[in-house]
Chain A
Amino acid sequence: MPDPTSLYSEKVMEHFRNPRNVGDMENPDGTGHVGNPVCGDIMELYIKVNDNTITDAKFKTFGCGAAIATSSMVTEMVIGKTIEEALEISNRAVAEALGGLPPVKMHCSVLAEEALKLAIDDYLAKREKQDGENE
């Protein structure tokens, strides 16, 4: 039974109160930036990649409780995954891991997925460029 006095699940509130992996990252291998002040949510996601595996992830978010919780959750889910596995993470998976999100907040999980995809794209583009330079 969802708690009728709360908009959010316990898990969302837990991540909101104690977000994991908050902060800046020195020389990230990939950065994803999504959202804008008009819609009220801005996420920045940074990843470190070693041998095709995401070894660290950090985020900074301006946004509501769901935006902060989904950012926190997606960083937690992605650490230790290979690039291919990380690309499989969908917004639904993030929402489910948080015990669900209210329908009006599902867009926050979409932002989290997009931020992750952009960070990976950034990493892949950088690597390609590097490979090109090394050839």
Chain B
Amino acid sequence: MLPYFNDTFGNPSSIYSYGQETRGAIAEARSKVASLINARDEEIVFTSGGSEANNFAIKGVAFANESKGNHIITSSIEHHAVIEPCKFLERHGFKVTYLPVDEYGLVDPDSVRKTITDKTILISIMHGNNEIGTIEPIADIGKIARDAGVYFHTDAVQTVGHIPTGVNELGVNLLSMSAHKLYGPKGVGALYIRKGTRLSPLIHGGDQEKGRRASTENVPGIVGLGKAVELAQQEMTEEAERLSFLRDKLITGLQEGIDHSRLNGHPVNRLPNNVNVSIEYVEGESMVLNLDLEGICCSTGSACTSSSLEPSHVLLAINLSHELAHGSLRFSLGKWNTEEDIDKVLNTLPGIISRLRAMSPLVKKP
């Protein structure tokens, strides 16, 4: 992608040869993205990232299909980039159903079927959950949506390039992705729009992306996304297997090594790179800071840094108590993680936890 910052800087909308060169680079990236998800080139629209893709899909369908109905179905564990556009639409006269999930974070396809009314214009259910790693039964929901004639969108930011995301296999009309979740650059993503899907643009202006998304293209970003997708396609199967092994080793080790802990999310239908556990009597940020001091980076669903002080909506949706939600840790594994890294976490964390538990007023005195 680097040459597209300096040497190949032509505007793809221009007819001079510099412009044509960048145009070709965008077309190539588009083909790579389409190929990864078994789509056609013209069904891919580049965006500024996953959030824009989600906003585009949800608001775009809502505003283009208002005459047909005003009801949207989504889940209670979606990313904020889905929940917030839905809340925005609620303030503009749309009705949104936020389906509950079970203790593993699974959406029940049958509950989707039962919630569809003649006013339903869109179903949006994420493919893989970013916090607890649960993979949703998208293909099953896809069949239900198709039978009912309702558009189906999936936020696949966590899954594209990591597990198969063929749009026909999943049965979706719209699919969001983000480059930096598959080792690409930040600030670029794409929305797959099945041919014939009616949706309004989010950004009006010039006729870039066939008028579906105005604004001069982020050429280096798009080229970077294309390259990331190409590499992911080559490595995906093997890498998913390798990461799943590391993931399961970490899960088993944490469960055996730390008493009063639990796995969050589904034990089997799970992203290969996601481990999320709750550890009783200790707060997440204090664990994250201690691990950081040992060179281990992870995150927590505790919300001590957010102004609301509310822990993650996903952890509360799977019925964790506030205390357990505040005591959550999420490890995201990647292509540079090794078995030694897993051992390091397993050797480091128990000591941190016993130190923190020694100062926790929640640990009952013997």
Partners in one complex: yes
Q: Is there a chain A Cβ closer than 8 Å to B283's Cβ? A: yes
**Stretch of A15-23, A77-85, A89-97, A123-131 that contacts chain B:** A15-23
A and B contact pairs by CB, cutoff 8 A, 18 listed: A16-B289, A22-B359, A24-B365, A37-B321, A37-B323, A37-B326, A39-B309, A40-B302, A40-B309, A40-B322, A41-B283, A42-B361, A42-B362, A61-B361, A63-B283, A63-B285, A65-B286, A104-B306
Annotate B237-255 by CB proximity to A: 1 below 8 A, 0 otherwise: 0000000000000000000
Q: Is there a chain A Cβ closer than 8 Å to B170's Cβ? A: no
Are the C-beta atoms of B283 and A104 separated by less than 8 Å?
Answer: no
Q: Is there a chain B Cβ closer than 8 Å to A1's Cβ? A: no
Q: Is there a chain A Cβ closer than 8 Å to B304's Cβ? A: yes
CB-contacts of A77-127 with B (<8 A): 102, 104-105, 107
Annotate B338-364 by CB proximity to A: 1 below 8 A, 0 otherwise: 000000000000000000001111100
Chain B: interface size category:
20 to 34
Annotate B293-311 by CB proximity to A: 1 below 8 A, 0 otherwise: 1000000001111110101
Annotate B138-177 by CB proximity to A: 1 below 8 A, 0 otherwise: 0000000000000000000000000000000000000000
Interface of B is mostly: loop
Annotate A26-45 by CB proximity to B: 1 below 8 A, 0 otherwise: 00000001000111111110
Are the C-beta atoms of B305 and A67 separated by less than 8 Å?
Answer: no
Q: Is there a chain B Cβ closer than 8 Å to A60's Cβ? A: yes
Most buried by A among B281, B323, B326: B326
Q: Contact partner of A64 among B281, B286, B323, CB < 8 A?
A: B286
For A38, give the chain B residue with the smallest CB separation: B322
Within the complex, the shortest CB–CB distance from A50 to chain B, in Å, comes to 25
Q: Contact partner of B283 among A17, A59, A67, CB < 8 A?
A: A67
Residues of B within 8 A of A107 (CB): 309
Cα distance, A4 to B302, chains bound together (Å): 22
Within the complex, the shortest CB–CB distance from B309 to chain A, in Å, comes to 5
Are the C-beta atoms of B305 and A40 separated by less than 8 Å?
Answer: no
Are the C-beta atoms of B365 and A40 separated by less than 8 Å?
Answer: no
Q: Is there a chain A Cβ closer than 8 Å to B132's Cβ? A: no
Cα distance, A22 to B357, chains bound together (Å): 11
Within the complex, the shortest CB–CB distance from B264 to chain A, in Å, comes to 16
Q: Is there a chain A Cβ closer than 8 Å to B282's Cβ? A: yes
For A44, give the chain B residue with the smallest CB separation: B361
For A65, give the chain B residue with the smallest CB separation: B289
Annotate B319-330 by CB proximity to A: 1 below 8 A, 0 otherwise: 001110010000
Cα distance, A40 to B289, chains bound together (Å): 16
Residues of A within 8 A of B284 (CB): 64
Q: A22-B358, A37-B323 are in contact. List 8 more A-B contacts (CB 8 A).
A: A13-B289, A40-B326, A41-B304, A43-B361, A60-B360, A62-B360, A63-B304, A105-B304
